[in-house]
Structure 1
Amino acid sequence: MTQIMKIFKKGFLIVLLAFLVLVGCSKVKITFVGLENVETEYQVGAELPDLSKIVTAKTNTDAEVELSFDYSGVNMNEVGEYEIIITATTTGATATQKIQIKVVESGNPVISGTKDWIIEPGTNLPDLMAGVTAYDPIEGDITDKIEIQGLDKVDVNTPGTYNITYFVETTRGIIAFESVKIIIIDNEAYTGKLLRIDPLNRRFLVEGVGYLNYTLTTKYYQIIDGEVKEITFDDIVLGLDNVYYFINPEKPGIVEYAVIDGNYSYENIRVRINKSVSVSGDNDTYHSSIRLLSSDNIILKNVDHSKSYEVAKNQEILVTIDSQKNVEVKVGSTVVMKDATLITFNPKNNGLIQVLSISRGSSRLYPGRLEVSPAGNLLLLVNDVPLEEYLKYVVPSEMSSSFGLEALKAQAVAARTYAVNDIHAKGYISDGYHVDDSVMSQVYNNTNPNANSNNAILATKGIVATHNGKFIRANFYSTGSGATANSHEVWFDGDTPGEPVPYLTSRVYAKDFNGNVLQFDINDENSMLSYFKLIDFDSPDRSSEYHRWKTEFNISQLKTALQESLSSRYSAKPTQVLTKSGDEFKSLPIPSDIGNIVDINAKQRGGGGLIICLEIKTTTHTFNIYGEYNIRMLFRNITLYCSNINYPQYNSPKSFSLLPSGFFAIEKVGNTIIFYGGGWGHGVGMSQYGARELGKYLSYDAILKFYYTDIELTNVDKYSQETRIEDYEVIKQLIENYLS
């Protein structure tokens, strides 16, 4: 009986287990389908799509499912985060799914069609609303809400410039505004910041106006303290905001004469921001796209101010070039502005703009404003920045903050002078900038500002170096060889140095420890070799790692390297890479086989021992290479051994991209050619390592006068403090009196 009971219990348990499994398998499960296709971010005012066409549900039993959607907590007209609840119901089961969505601001209102007005005295104001509209992405056409502010200050009977503002506000409290000028004058004229000078097409690009054409007969004047003097086209420089362009009444759009009201102002400088600081070609100079971000609101404007748009802070801005070669600006997926000429990006409260799309050693935050214009199929990025702010990003990028206050002051004055000189050099006027941000000008914003550099800049605010009343070209470099170079023997065309620059002349400052200047003969290569082999002597640069250096080449291995570098330098500077042809040296393409290297020697030297011409002899050719940079670029990716006061023997090898300087001498030992040299850089002007040492016992002005001959220091801030007339009628009358 007991056995029977055991069998019965066992059978019962099996049946019970089977029943439970069957019941479990038949439980209805609901699965939502298509949730991944639901958008979770919408702009204010947008309509939600019909989610019943996106989201479905199914069961494991193929039973029919009914869906319901609860939107009761969602307000698409108000920014915020909301929840949509989806309920799925079938026989024996119910399931819910919550979807979080975000409603974001869709954009700001835009005022379009505004312009400056020029009218004659005593006439009635025109219809200032003609062609002006306002549009809001949510509320649509809001032109009827536009207010014109500042009209009470306009006196149509008194010549002058009056500012008025078109203002509009949405029901959500979002505002837009456009400022324009009403110019009361009897001879049409314009003014605004000069953004570009286009000599090829003879036109000026003026902010707030657009392009104005000039001719060979256009006259130029300057008024200082009420005195008129005639100047030339060359005296008109980029960035001036105190020029008045008087239009020939018989030739609309043609500048009859332009007048600088007051002196030059050096408050701002215009800097090209390269995609890459290597600047080896267009792909490093120009941008395929630009990404911007700021913790400040940014106001966008086109060049004539007919368009404007305000981007809220912390919104990423994407700038690209469209198929029609317009600059196109997007915020999110919305195109907020297009322009074929130029768009400015102005921080509303003087904040910084971060350029996310470039790589730098700094945080990539830029003061001032940014400007983007087309450059073929790419984009040109320019930073219009206050000069003293510019220096805060140049000085630490060019000199270590540990170099001491006096050296940093000297660097600040040199950098400021270099910048102001480049403003007048007008090297990039057709592209609309003064300098770029690489070693082609001065390195800018590759290192963040620091307290030491900022103190040096503030202590020398506005101070620049001049020679005979003109700004000097304040060249500087890393490390000296014990002597400086003559500027005209470093930068020249062809095979003949140009005219000397009186304040950039060579001097030997290397001394023995008794204070005697070291002697060497630039016409005797044995003398030069002895000098460059000398390590232990008194020099301001003796603590620099590049005080003395050497590099070695196996003569049989040089052929491959020089075959490539000679061709490269010929392509870059054909008038300075010459090949012997008969009894003459000519600019000829480098042959496909230059022959085996026989000899390399310094054929011509300049002040301080700088090599001006290097001669290379092969089994089939003789080449003369002129210019220190061309010479340095012949020997690429070298192994360098360095020595200074702390390392009297040459230290462990390091890789270097090119010869550190053109100050070297050559020794031949069997099949090995050894270059013994000193310094890093071109050798013209101020040595930065030298300034560091001199700054321990000299003031910054004494450092500058040590390196730049016969200079004076002056302050350019005085120019911006001078009174301007700022009255068209007075300016016009002064010019008429001058011409009568």
Structure 2
Amino acid sequence: MKKIIIMLSAFLILILGVLFFPRNVEQGVVIGHNSNSITVIVNGKDKVYKTSETFPKLTVIDFKYNLLKAFGFKVITPIADRVMIKNAGSYDLESLGKTNLSSKTFYYTVDKDNNIKLSESKNLIIGKNNIKSFKTKNGELKTFFIYPMDYSSMRVGISTNGFSSVYHSKVQIKALEPAKLYSMRENLNVDLPKDSIVVIEKEDSNLKLTINNKTTIYKNRLYIKGNSIDFQSIKRGSGSSTFSPSYSGVLEFSISDNGMCVVNDVNLEDYLKKVVPSEMPLSGGVEALKCQAVAARTYAISDMINNRYAALGFYVDDSTRSQVYNNIPMQPLATEAVDSTKGIIMTYEGIPIDAKYYSTSAGTGVNYSDVWFNADGTSDSRPYIANNNYLTPKIELPKNEESWLNFYKNTSIKAIDSDYPYFRWKVEYSAAGLTTALNKTLKSLYSGETSKKYLTIYENSRQISKLPELKELQDIKIIKRGENGIAIEVSFIFSNTTVNVRGDSYIRSSIKCNQEYTNETTKLTRLKGDPLTNVGSLPSAFFSCDKKDNKFTLYGGGFGHGAGMSQYGAIELSKKGMKYVDILNLFYKDVKMEKIM
């Protein structure tokens, strides 16, 4: 009997505990209420709690509850601070600085009608004012609201001379008009008169700022805002046309582990006015430039949405790694093209497309997956970048390697961009010269953490994991080719080993076209113009190899990856009277032109 009483007492205590023992909720999101309860999103799930308390929709609250009621409510104040850099375990907030993330974080998108939906961290775009975040008691970020985004500004990483790096050691700037120098976290707010010289350099983990021979050390991001900020420590252009680039908007300077990063936060349309002339010659006329403007605008927004450089604080850089910005001063015809297409982008199923473009085709365009694929062979879906035939008249494409060699040897074949120098080209090597070059390039590729995955090495038909010194090159075979001619996998057969290389960029990087790699005079002969002797990588992966005696000749066509828009193709179609919308619809399949602002 005594045992039964003890068991009943324990059960009663358990029941009372369940009824009355309080549990904690941290950062619930209120989404509705009635006279005796509220509905709260807790850890991504809707839950109802009994209470007579009411809160406005989307209030974030901490509280306690038991089975009878919720109580002890505390409203959490939102932080309206831009996220400037995203790292794995922390975010850099513009005013508050580096802030750790909670072990469990929750992201919600909020539409214009205040409807809320569980989202993902990838939808939080750095540098935008559409974010509200909420800290826990421990000072960690746990909850984020992501509101509709304004696309009107771009964040561009500014490179050093020659676009060689986004990490600077020292910059010198001249304010060609009055400007403002300031910090969001430290005591700095200075008006810069016209012609002021500002020097900013990395010193350990700090920024050393010098104005008029007065130097001050700052620990945090610095800003210069103005309409004409001249970067005197950088040269752009080439030859006799070099110049110091000028920037509008805001220049931001911050320290990373690898150096000082410089970001230009600039109006999207102003950005395009310096991209379009840098990416496309003016000779094609305004319709071709409109094509470039729409493609460049779409490309930029696509990279923005994809958070490509979120760990560095910008959306795109100013080189061919993204699209070239401010390498040629603004030009009236390019500005007209940007203005007349203001806000227009290409979308596929309502989403901005990844608007790839390149210089010159070899007569065909290829699938996205033929160029960009993972080491396991999988690729993202880009159905709007698909195989295209630009030959005039259209003829059936080759089906075997012998036919592809003849196709690339053929300098009389016609296509929409066949009047341009790189439509056909060839490079000649001795076996010794190409062996020397491949020893350098393949070693470099195999030392890279990512590129290594795209190389396979065989010795006596057995796969090995170490790249030996490569002895005499005996043959080059295309062992996988896309339907429209691009080399997807190339086999370099040496006397002692075989190295297979996959992927457009790695194939092109493996075959250099200059004496620095071959130790002999190496000429790239184009369809038109003088042979070139100082070319870096192969112009494209659209090529075949012809071996005779002890010499290798690569016959190829095109300049660039061959996916999306051929810029010179767009120029020629523009000259023939086609309008930009029709030209773009030729290069990108089933896309729509939509205005985003």
TM-score by length of 2: 0.81
Q: In the alignment, what sits opposite 2:545?
A: 666
CA change 1:213–1:582 in 2 (3 A) is same
Q: In the alignment, what sits opposite 1:520?
A: 397
> Is this contact kept in 1: 2:167–2:258, CA < 8 A?
no
Q: In the alignment, what sits opposite 2:458?
A: 580
By how many angstroms is 1:214 displaced?
3.1
What SS does the aligned partner of 1:367 have?
strand
Cα distance in structure 2, aligned partners of 1:652 and 1:434: 37
Q: In the alignment, what sits opposite 1:195?
A: 84
What SS does the aligned partner of 1:546 have?
helix
Cα distance in structure 1, aligned partners of 2:574 and 2:146: 40
Q: In the alignment, what sits opposite 1:609?
A: 485
Cα distance in structure 1, aligned partners of 2:235 and 2:466: 37
Map residues 387-406 of structure 1 onto 2, 5 A cutoff. 387-406=268-287
By how many angstroms is 1:186 displaced?
5.9
**Are 1:385 and 2:266 counterparts?**
yes
CA change 1:241–1:614 in 2 (3 A) is same
Provide Cα deviations, 1:672-707, integer angstroms capped at 9, x if missing partner: 221111100111110000000111221111111111
> Is this contact kept in 1: 2:541–2:561, CA < 8 A?
yes
**Are 1:224 and 2:111 counterparts?**
yes
By how many angstroms is 1:304 displaced?
3.1
What SS does the aligned partner of 1:269 have?
strand
> Is this contact kept in 2: 1:597–1:617, CA < 8 A?
yes
From 131, 156, 171, give the equivalent of 1:243: 131
By how many angstroms is 1:305 displaced?
5.9
**Are 1:274 and 2:169 counterparts?**
no
> Is this contact kept in 1: 2:125–2:304, CA < 8 A?
yes
> Is this contact kept in 1: 2:175–2:192, CA < 8 A?
no
From 703, 708, 719, give the equivalent of 2:588: 708
From 416, 420, 426, give the equivalent of 1:544: 420
From 499, 502, 525, give the equivalent of 1:641: 525
Cα distance in structure 2, aligned partners of 1:594 and 1:197: 42
Tell me which amino acid in the other structure corresponds to 1:615. Answer: S
Cα distance in structure 2, aligned partners of 1:602 and 1:364: 43
CA change 1:558–1:208 in 2 (3 A) is closer
By how many angstroms is 1:493 displaced?
3.1
**Range moving further from structure 2, 186-195 or 360-369:** 186-195
By how many angstroms is 1:487 displaced?
1.4
Cα distance in structure 1, aligned partners of 2:145 and 2:380: 33
Cα distance in structure 2, aligned partners of 1:555 and 1:498: 35
Q: In the alignment, what sits opposite 1:441?
A: 322
Cα distance in structure 2, aligned partners of 1:498 and 1:224: 31
Cα distance in structure 1, aligned partners of 2:420 and 2:83: 43
CA change 1:232–1:619 in 2 (3 A) is closer
Cα distance in structure 1, aligned partners of 2:453 and 2:199: 43
> Is this contact kept in 1: 2:523–2:531, CA < 8 A?
no
Tell me which amino acid in the other structure corresponds to 2:537. Answer: L
By how many angstroms is 1:439 displaced?
0.6
> Is this contact kept in 2: 1:481–1:548, CA < 8 A?
yes
From 122, 137, 140, give the equivalent of 1:254: 140
> Is this contact kept in 2: 1:486–1:500, CA < 8 A?
no
CA change 1:639–1:412 in 2 (3 A) is same
By how many angstroms is 1:254 displaced?
3.1
Provide Cα deviations, 1:597-650, integer angstroms capped at 9, x if missing partner: 11112111013110111111111111111112222222221411111xxx5xx8
What SS does the aligned partner of 2:416 have?
coil
Specify every segment of 5 or more residues in structure 1 that has no aligned partner in the other structure, as ranges.
Answer: 1-158, 160-184, 718-740
> Is this contact kept in 1: 2:132–2:144, CA < 8 A?
yes
Q: In the alignment, what sits opposite 1:482?
A: 363
Calculate the aligned-residue CA RMSD, in Å.
Answer: 2.1
Q: In the alignment, what sits opposite 1:99?
A: none
> Is this contact kept in 2: 1:485–1:684, CA < 8 A?
yes
What SS does the aligned partner of 2:421 have?
coil
Q: In the alignment, what sits opposite 1:319?
A: 200
Cα distance in structure 2, aligned partners of 1:315 and 1:264: 35
From 190, 202, 224, give the equivalent of 1:345: 224
Q: In the alignment, what sits opposite 1:589?
A: 466
> Is this contact kept in 2: 1:221–1:228, CA < 8 A?
no
Q: In the alignment, what sits opposite 2:348?
A: 467
TM-score by length of 1: 0.66
Percent same amino acid among aligned pairs?
A: 32
CA change 1:581–1:496 in 2 (3 A) is farther
Provide Cα deviations, 1:479-538, integer angstroms capped at 9, x if missing partner: 000001221121223263535521111122213xxx3x222334x111101111222233
Tell me which amino acid in the other structure corresponds to 1:575. Answer: K
> Is this contact kept in 1: 2:186–2:220, CA < 8 A?
no
CA change 1:497–1:711 in 2 (3 A) is same
> Is this contact kept in 1: 2:185–2:220, CA < 8 A?
no
Tell me which amino acid in the other structure corresponds to 1:461. Answer: K
CA change 1:389–1:584 in 2 (3 A) is farther
Q: In the alignment, what sits opposite 2:149?
A: 264
What SS does the aligned partner of 2:322 have?
coil
From 288, 311, 314, give the equivalent of 2:169: 288
Q: In the alignment, what sits opposite 1:420?
A: 301
Cα distance in structure 2, aligned partners of 1:614 and 1:256: 48
> Is this contact kept in 1: 2:163–2:318, CA < 8 A?
no
Cα distance in structure 1, aligned partners of 2:316 and 2:470: 38
Cα distance in structure 2, aligned partners of 1:584 and 1:495: 20
By how many angstroms is 1:402 displaced?
1.6
Greater C-alpha radius of gyration: 1
| Count of aligned positions | 508
> Is this contact kept in 2: 1:239–1:268, CA < 8 A?
no
By how many angstroms is 1:380 displaced?
1.1
**Are 1:332 and 2:212 counterparts?**
yes
What SS does the aligned partner of 2:150 have?
coil
What SS does the aligned partner of 2:115 have?
strand
By how many angstroms is 1:225 displaced?
2.9
CA change 1:652–1:622 in 2 (3 A) is closer
From 375, 380, 388, give the equivalent of 2:256: 375
Tell me which amino acid in the other structure corresponds to 1:616. Answer: F
Cα distance in structure 1, aligned partners of 2:186 and 2:376: 50
**Are 1:453 and 2:329 counterparts?**
no
> Is this contact kept in 1: 2:134–2:142, CA < 8 A?
yes
CA change 1:709–1:437 in 2 (3 A) is same
